[in-house]
Structure 1
Amino acid sequence: MPPETDLPEAEGPLKRDLIAGLEKGLQVIEAFDQERSRLTISEVAQRTGLTRAAARRYLITLAHLGYVRHEQKLFSLTPKVLRLGQSYLHSARLPRIVQPLLYRLAYSLEEAASAGVLDHDELVCVAAVSAGRVVSATLQPGTRVPAFCTANGRVLLASLPQQEIEALLARLQPEQITSFTIVNKERLLLEVARTRAQGYAIVDQELELGLRTIAVPLRNFRGDTVAAMNISVHAARMPVEEIIERCLPPLLKAQVELAALL
């Protein structure tokens, strides 16, 4: 048996070591989203780059396994797909370690707290506590939102090498989600640089009207940024100056505590 570390990380795995069927099956699952929760075989083929015959076979297989349901000519995902995300949330160290600190933050401040990681251009929430205040539907484990207009996302972008940040923004087509959303790429670069310099990010209603968020990076004992953690408040209840005064100190305290655990 070849050693587990026989693949150079910079070059990625060899093509012969990849299972194309698994890759394409996951692409079929990812073809479904909030805008198109029900798809025909032709639509799945178009979204995945598969032939119609291949898309049909993958959908039939996924339906047989219970991940997809078939109603007339339309296919949709079943709740069984959630098992894939639950496997990560139940097995990964990060959510288990962060969750108790989020509880403490959320209930001491009586605000919502969450932690997230970067996945390509998106921020994925991996843990969250509402403390009785439901300020946004996006603050739920498994939720994906654009990284460029979120506090956690900007903190994580600020941890990347400058070349990667510029490459990400070059391919990004920022959407004007609210009237506050920053879509100018030069200004976004300045915001990421500001976040890196000050050690935290504040995003004021750029993702959702009424949602104001402050975030800090979560670093491991080596100093590598592995996640981000935030506090979210209703904008009508807390101005920017107050969110810095009230929420930043406990966030920084939790940041120090978590560095010894991550």
Structure 2
Amino acid sequence: MALNSTSETVSDKIPTSLIEDDGPLKRDLIAGLGKGLQVIEAFDQERSRLTISEVAQRAGLTRAAARRYLITLTHLGYVRHEQKVFSLTPKVLRLGQSYLHSARLPRIVQPLLYRLAYSLEEAASVGVLDHDELICVAAVSAGRVVSATLQPGTRVPAFWTANGRVLLASLPQQQIEAFLARLQLEPITAHTIVNKERLLLEIARTRAQGYSVVDQELELGLRTIAVPLKNFRGETVAAMNVSVHASRMPVEDIVERCLPALLKVQVELAALL
């Protein structure tokens, strides 16, 4: 008997574990893939060259397992081996480029972000949350090199950025407090807010007024103002900011000079997201 055209085959059927809140079942996961990505993530700006033992410690692997993953990644061209240390190769950028080239969000926001940046003659960027960090997914400098952190792919602590606070303000209060509980509240600059109660007040203020201003908390000389980007259902999917150098614009002027342009683009993007 012929199968009905609307029937699902075993290969087409989506496992219910993929759509349950509790997460996928262990049998549906490929442990080796996850551990290989953990090895790549073990490298960062402070630790660009690692030994096998260091990778094992940072990735939570045995030394023997770390060695095998590093050999595999070296064979595939993602890792370079020099004497007793390993480092990532530029091929790793392909992983990030796959997102930037295929994801809908960067493609939609880039043209309007370009217009925003050049209308104000300041840098602008769009970011999303990834665990406790903010990741930049689109940026336009408009000839103003304000900060090296305003580049696609860069990660910064969410609590000390305007984009990050806008995104955190969209979360349930319990989740925000869980974020804070995990943080090591150490000053990055003399302006960094490290008091938990004050950070919660800043998040509440951001939620109430619909935008956030951060003055040199992440980097000296860097001032930013951000607004949420919402889809047609009113859900916050990203945040968009304008960044200025402190020597060019007093913090008292940033709302008046930058917020109207941000809100205009925010409205236009709401119809597209």
- TM range, normalised to the smaller chain? over 0.9
Deviation at 1:9, TM superposition (A): 2.8
2:263 matches 1:252: yes
Residue in 2 that maps onto 1:200: 211
Structure 2 distance, partners of 1:90, 1:116, is: 16
CA RMSD of aligned residues (A): 0.8
Question: Percent identity of the aligned residues?
Answer: 87
Structure 1 distance, partners of 2:20, 2:256, is: 43
Query: Which residue, out of 211, 224, 232, partners 2:222?
Result: 211
Residue in 1 that maps onto 2:84: 73
Q: Which amino acid aligns with 1:141?
A: P
Structure 2 distance, partners of 1:112, 1:5, is: 44
Residues 139-150 of structure 1: pairs in structure 2 closer than 5 A: 139-150=150-161
Q: Which amino acid aligns with 2:238?
A: A
Structure 2 distance, partners of 1:9, 1:170, is: 26
Structure 2 distance, partners of 1:35, 1:235, is: 27
- Cα distance, 1:239–1:5 mapped onto 2, change above 3 Å: farther
Residues 1-262 of structure 1: pairs in structure 2 closer than 5 A: 1=10, 3-4=13-14, 6-7=16-17, 8-262=19-273
Residue in 1 that maps onto 2:4: none
Figure out how many residues of one structure are paired with residues of the other and give that number. 262
CA-to-aligned-CA distance 1:77-136 (integer Å, 9 cap, x gap): 000000000000000000000001111011010000000000000000000000000000
Structure 2 distance, partners of 1:226, 1:174, is: 26
Q: Secondary structure at the match of 1:37?
A: coil
Structure 2 distance, partners of 1:207, 1:5, is: 42
Q: Which amino acid aligns with 1:86?
A: Q
> Runs in 1 of length 4+ with deviation above 4 angstroms?
none
Deviation at 1:174, TM superposition (A): 2.1
Structure 2 distance, partners of 1:136, 1:95, is: 20
Question: Unpaired runs of 5+ in structure 1?
Answer: none
Structure 2 distance, partners of 1:209, 1:260, is: 36
Q: Which amino acid aligns with 2:101?
A: H
- TM-score, normalized by length of structure 2? 0.95
Deviation at 1:239, TM superposition (A): 1.1
Structure 1 distance, partners of 2:251, 2:47, is: 37
CA-to-aligned-CA distance 1:198-248 (integer Å, 9 cap, x gap): 000000000000000000000000000000000000111111221101100
Structure 1 distance, partners of 2:68, 2:144, is: 45
Q: Which amino acid aligns with 1:241?
A: E
Deviation at 1:5, TM superposition (A): 5.2
- TM-score, normalized by length of structure 1? 0.99
Q: Secondary structure at the match of 1:38?
A: coil
After TM superposition, the structure 1 stretch with the greater mean CA deviation from structure 2, 131-140 or 240-249, is: 240-249
Structure 1 distance, partners of 2:152, 2:15, is: 32
| Higher Cα radius of gyration | 2
